[in-house]
């Protein structure tokens, strides 16, 4: 009973927030709605008994990823409305729904046809965090290490890409010293 109420409430909230994210013309509204939707999604994880995953969802997505987006949006002019040339939305919506349905059928067909058994059953008597740790550091140790290396590579790539000319403070130099994007484009074209 309560699970059903919580499910429908959070499903409605999540769908609404993500719909705002997709449809809004302001980048700031879009980002805020996305952050709210991420938090609502963690409620599903808590309902499903995946407590650790829910905590990671809140920490990583709304803590790290959305903060990164918020800092990234300081580079872009995000206050004005986005002018976008849109294709006919009914066709796009129909194609989107059909593509999603096809994806689900492709992925779900082998699951439906065979009765699956748990490869790594949930251990009785321990909490979710302990059970996750026991599986993650035994069966999935190598993917875990590879993911750690991948995150390191991503961090170095982000620093190298975004951190060029970071030793020059753009707020302290005079206005005419700051290179304008149009001038750089002309320089690159010539």
146-165 positions binding another protein, by CB under 8 A: 147, 150-151, 153-155, 157-162, 164
For 78-83, which contacts have Cβ atoms below 8 Å and span 24 or more sequence positions? 78/26, 78/27, 78/28, 79/28, 81/25, 81/26, 82/25, 82/26, 82/27
User: Binders of another protein: how many residues, by CB under 8 A?
Assistant: 88
Distance between CA 58 and CA 39 in Å, rounded?
6
Query: Could you tell me where the beta strands, DSSP code E, fall in 1-110?
Result: none
CA atoms within 13 A on the CB side of 70: 12
Task: State which of positions 30-69 bind another protein (CB under 8 A).
Answer: 30-31, 34, 37-38, 41, 44-45, 48-50, 52-53, 56-57, 60-61, 64-65, 68-69
For residues 87 to 126, the per-residue mask of contacts with another protein, x marking binding by CB under 8 A and - elsewhere, is x-x--xx-xxx-xxx-xx---x--x----x-xxxxx----
Q: What is the closest distance, in whole angstroms, from the C-beta atom of residue 96 to another protein in the complex? A: 4
Q: Indicate the residue among 22 and 173 with the shorter CB distance to another protein.
A: 22
């Amino acid at each position: 009973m309560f699970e059903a109420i919580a499910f429908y409430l959070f499903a409605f909230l999540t769908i609404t927030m993500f719909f705002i994210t997709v449809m809004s013309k302001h980048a700031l509204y879009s980002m805020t709605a996305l952050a709210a939707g991420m938090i609502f999604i963690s409620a599903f994880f808590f309902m499903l008994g995946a407590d650790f995953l829910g905590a990671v969802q809140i920490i990583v997505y709304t803590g790290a990823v959305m903060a990164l987006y918020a800092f990234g949006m300081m580079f872009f002019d995000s206050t004005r409305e986005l002018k976008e040339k849109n294709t006919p939305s009914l066709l796009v919506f129909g194609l989107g729904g059909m593509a999603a349905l096809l994806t689900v059928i492709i992925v779900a067909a082998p699951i439906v046809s065979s009765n699956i058994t748990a490869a790594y059953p949930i251990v009785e008597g321990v909490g979710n965090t302990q059970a996750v740790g026991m599986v993650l550091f035994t069966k999935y140790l190598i993917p875990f290490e590879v993911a750690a290396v991948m995150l390191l590579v991503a961090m170095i790539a982000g620093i190298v890409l975004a951190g060029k000319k970071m030793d020059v403070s753009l707020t302290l130099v005079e206005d005419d010293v700051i290179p304008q994007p149009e001038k750089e484009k002309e320089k690159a074209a010539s």
